[in-house]
Amino acid sequence: MIRRLIKRFMAAAQPPQIAQPEAGPVVESAPEPPFTWSPRDVGFHDAVLDGWFLNDSGELLKGFAITPEDTVLDVGCGEGGATMFAVRQGASVIFTDSEHDKVRDLARQVEAQCTRPSLGLVSDSLPLPLADGCASKVMCMEVLEHVDQPEPFMAELVRMGRPGALYLLSVPAPVGEHLQKGIAPANYYQVPNHIQIFTPERFAAMVEDAGLVIEHRQASGFFWVMGMIFFWASEKAAGQDPGGAVRDRIQAPFHPLMQGWARTWHEMLQQPDGLAIKQVLDQFMPKSQVIIARKPLDSGRVS
């Protein structure tokens, strides 16, 4: 890719050539079509390459399959992408968030598509007004970093999974968080945003101390680490304050900085070694770290 960009630059730097009469008319090539993928489109494609949203197998993430027999609890549902994936698999869903508007909007989507019982709750999750063992699958993604007391929060998650329940948990990776600390506005690391930074060791210990058995771990998302840096730069240029719900602001129309990064990443992935390069960068500077864990069959109530 770099060589191709250099060739383009060098070609543009050459003086114009005068066509000789015997060469015939100069035929101009058609312009390249405009790049129409948004940063969120590219980010979704990047996630699919990491094993997310596998519609054919019904796996939200490779190793975390959802079936019509499941009752899925999504704590901190946000925009509802994970909840709606579970709905499309025919599962019953329970979804919670601390923001009323998010729960209301997601409830409308669920009601329009879900044929099984569903429940939406506005709650900060300490505690949730749900019975012990109410869910066979529990999801809590990019939430724990916002929580003042993550260990009691984790215990509450474990309480609501039935024996044998499978958990899908994620938090930001520390490398990307520390990098953004020099670029993001200060309030991004204050309530209600990211007030916890989890090392891989701390994250795993918290999950295991709560009584779960870890089955799978992965880290990925270099695209979004860089994407957030370009987001902060574009927000500052526009004089914007990101406030509390940062990801909600990453919407069309996208700033040219973010759109340009999306195009660069998309083109890189099209190269013969694009996927291998992505995997190296994901390990070098991941955006998120993910754990799939299971509640033991003989587990009692976690207090």
Per-residue pLDDT tens for 158-167? Answer: 999 999 999 9
| Mean of pLDDT values over 242-270 | 85
> Among residues 122, 168, 121, 172, which one has the least CA distance to residue 142?
172
Question: Which pTM value belongs to this model?
Answer: 0.86
Q: What proportions of the chain, in percent to the nearest 5, are helix, strand and coil? A: 40, 20, 40
Asked if residue 88 belongs to a domain, the reply is yes
Q: How far is CA 49 from CA 26, 43, 56, 226, in A?
A: 43, 10, 14, 18
pLDDT at position 245 is 53
Coil, strand or helix at 202: helix
**How many structural domains compose the chain?**
1
Q: How far is CA 133 from CA 41, 84, 119, 158, 209, in A?
A: 36, 22, 15, 8, 18
The domain in which residue 151 lies consists of: 38-294
Partner residues linked to 141 by β-bridges: 170
Asked if residue 12 belongs to a domain, the reply is no
φ and ψ at residue 89, rounded to 5 degrees: -85, 0
CA distance 111 to 283: 39
- Which stretch of 23-37, 44-58, 185-199, 267-281 has the lowest confidence by average pLDDT? 23-37
Contact 98, 71 (CB under 8 A): no
How confident is the model over 125-161, as pLDDT tens digits? 788 899 999 999 999 999 999 999 999 999 999 999 9
Asked if residue 4 belongs to a domain, the reply is no
Token look-up 């007030």 returns 195
pLDDT at position 186 is 87
Task: Work out the mean pLDDT of the chain and round it to a whole number.
Answer: 87
Asked if residue 1 belongs to a domain, the reply is no
Token look-up 């709905």 returns 87
| Mean of pLDDT values over 237-259 | 78
Asked if residue 170 belongs to a domain, the reply is yes
Q: Provide the 8-state DSSP code for 293.
A: E
Instruction: Identify the CATH number of the domain in which residue 202 sits.
Output: 3.40.50.150
